[in-house]
Amino acid sequence: MDPMALQFALPGWQQMIMYVIGITLIFLAVKKEYEPMLLLPIGFGAILVNLPLQVVLTAGLNLDPFVTRFVAANPDAQEFCEYTLQYVFREG
């Protein structure tokens, strides 16, 4: 496997620390009820932002069958989805 691709496929120690921080924030929000409206989204965001890039890209390929059929049947929806994905990957 390409070393550059391997870097994005495996989480490093920095991502592991952020996973622990995210899980801790979710725990505090749910169990201890410390500002759940604030800590819960921050905890989920900390986990989601630090997912390895390969996980995010392969998850996009496994769409719901209904969504896949809908996009395939509607060229306008397909064009919109392609434009949106290109914008997201281009702009970050």
pLDDT in tens, 49-87: 887 765 555 555 555 677 677 777 877 877 777 777 777
Q: Is the pTM of this model over 0.75?
A: no
DSSP state of 64: -
**Would you call 10 helix, strand, or coil by DSSP?**
coil
Q: How many domains does the chain have?
A: 2
22 within a domain of the structure (yes/no): yes
- In angstroms, rounded to a whole number, what is the distance separating the alpha carbons of residues 62 and 21? 28
Is there a single domain that holds both residue 25 and residue 67?
no
Task: Give the relative orientation of helices 65-73 and 75-91 as an angle to the nearest 10 degrees.
Answer: 110
Is 67 within 8 Å of 61 (Cβ atoms)? no
- Is residue 40 pLDDT above 90, yes or no? yes
Q: What single-letter amino acid sits at 88?
A: V
Residue 76 lies in a domain: yes
Q: Let me know whether 4 and 42 are in one domain.
A: yes
Q: Could you tell me if residue 67 is inside a domain?
A: yes
Is residue 46 situated within a structural domain? yes
Query: Which 8-state DSSP code applies to residue 50?
Result: T
8 and 36 share a domain?
Answer: yes
Residue 57 covered by a domain: no
Domain range enclosing 38: 1-51
